[in-house]
């Protein structure tokens, strides 16, 4: 083989041209059981909220429905492009710290929850949760935590 000749390709490229980019935010993900997935995600988020509620108790901070509502509103603002922090509604420095720590942990969840997308017959791509489903999950969380029946 001459030096300027390229060796034959024996390995398939990791990405096919054009498939390495995730779909734009406006494209709805194909999720078979969207309602079931949203419930599963909210259950995961509820566990995080409960951990933070319990962690705040030794600091003499009780995270109630209004506090969770403030965090959910900040998460919505963040999903729409705003920074989202600091979370509004802090009564003092420690309370603000608890709200912002909860926000910081929850804001990472959409990128931690992956869905599969078939790109070509034998290839599957993993995509993070899109903003539309995230907003639906936040609405469901708000209905569970902030509505009068949740109090």
Distance CA(9)–CA(31), nearest Å, equals 36
Residue 114, pLDDT score? 81
Domain ranges for the chain, please list them: 35-150
pTM for the model: 0.73
Contact 45, 141 (CB under 8 A): yes
Q: What is the pLDDT along the chain (151 residues), one digit of tens a residue?
A: 566 676 665 555 555 555 555 555 545 556 667 788 888 999 999 999 999 999 999 999 999 999 999 999 999 999 988 888 899 989 999 999 999 999 999 999 998 888 777 777 778 778 788 888 899 999 999 998 776 554 4
Helix count and strand count (H, E) for the chain: 5, 2
Pick from 99, 34, 40: nearest CA to 66: 99
């Amino acid at each position: 083989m001459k030096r300027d000749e390229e060796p034959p390709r024996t390995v398939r490229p990791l990405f096919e041209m054009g498939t390495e980019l995730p779909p734009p935010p406006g494209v709805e993900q194909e999720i078979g059981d969207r309602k079931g997935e949203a419930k599963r995600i909210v259950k995961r988020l509820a566990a995080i909220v409960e951990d933070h509620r319990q962690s705040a108790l030794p600091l003499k901070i009780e995270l109630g429905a209004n506090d969770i509502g403030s965090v959910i509103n900040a998460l919505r603002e963040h999903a729409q492009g705003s920074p989202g922090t600091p979370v509004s509604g802090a009564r003092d420095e420690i309370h603000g710290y608890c709200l912002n720590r909860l926000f910081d942990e929850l804001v990472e969840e959409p990128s931690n929850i992956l869905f599969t997308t078939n790109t070509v017959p034998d290839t599957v791509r993993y995509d993070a949760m899109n903003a539309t489903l995230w907003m639906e999950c936040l609405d469901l969380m708000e209905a569970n935590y902030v509505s009068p029946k949740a109090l």
